[in-house]
Each structure stands twice: as structure tokens, then as C-alpha cells.
Copies of this chain bind each other. A is one copy, B any other.
């Protein structure tokens, strides 16, 4: 399943989350050839699982596809800056690059707060690119929360 724009696919996953009454966050993992190994959206409410973030679900799926605990030649695209849980999972999976959409000043764990990849306790640091299609990623979240206030 190749795709020319993994972040567009991640945005589509986020839109699916919204339709499922989930916080609209989507994630996609592609291999070095650009083939999609996993796509997931946040399922915390549906699964009643506080760990069911899009990134964690995508990592688990991609590892199952690969039959490997490492995803060293793979890149992750996610519509929101990963939290500390997901950032540490990204490090454990040894993902090559992380592309994220909106920054998350309240809950992010990459550019703020725990800054997981910058800690001496973090043994793999992916390349990180933030702000990819940021406006669209942020708008999905803003509209979702505005509708619930």
C-alpha cells in the first residue's frame, strides 16, 4: 500500500478517529520504500485503554507485520507531537524519523516537558521534523474540542 503522502494518510486516520468520537489523532508508519506498514488512530475511548494512542497502536502493528521489535528503517508520521509514552516507544522501536503535525504544549513529550529524546536515559534518537501540515492537524483537534465545550 504505497502512498505519496503519509501525512495525508495520517490526517485521514485522524478524521476517522473524530467520526468514532475519539480525539482526532492519526499515525502512519512507512518503510524505506514508502510502503505503509501500519496506520492507526487514537482508540482510548473505544478500547477503554489509556495506552491506545495512535503511535503506540501503529508501532505494535508494524512490529507484528515485520515480526520484529525494531523498525530501524521506518518512519512515523503523526498528526500531533507525541507524548512521553509514545516518544519512549518510538525510541524503543528505533524508528528512523518522526514527522509530526501540530505541536502540543500541554502534553507533548518531544519538544517540551519530558523531552524524551534529549535524555541520557534515551538510547535511540530519531530524526524529528515538527510542524508538517501543522494548520490542518491543529484545526482537527481545535474543532473537536470546541464542539465539546
Contacts and interface: CB of A to CB of B under 8 A. Distances in A.
Interface string A72-102: 0000000000011111110011000000000
Nearest to A120: B113
Contacts of A105: 121
Closest 8 CB pairs of A and B: A113-B121, A85-B88, A114-B114, A50-B92, A113-B119, A84-B88, A50-B69, A50-B93
A133 interface: no
A122 interface: yes
Q: How many subunits of this chain does the assembly comprise?
A: 2
Interface of A: 44-45, 48-51, 56, 59-60, 63-64, 67-70, 83-89, 92-93, 105-109, 112-116, 119-123
Dominant SS among interface residues on chain A: loop
Given A48-B64, A114-B115, A107 B84 contact: no
Nearest to A114: B114
Nearest to A48: B69
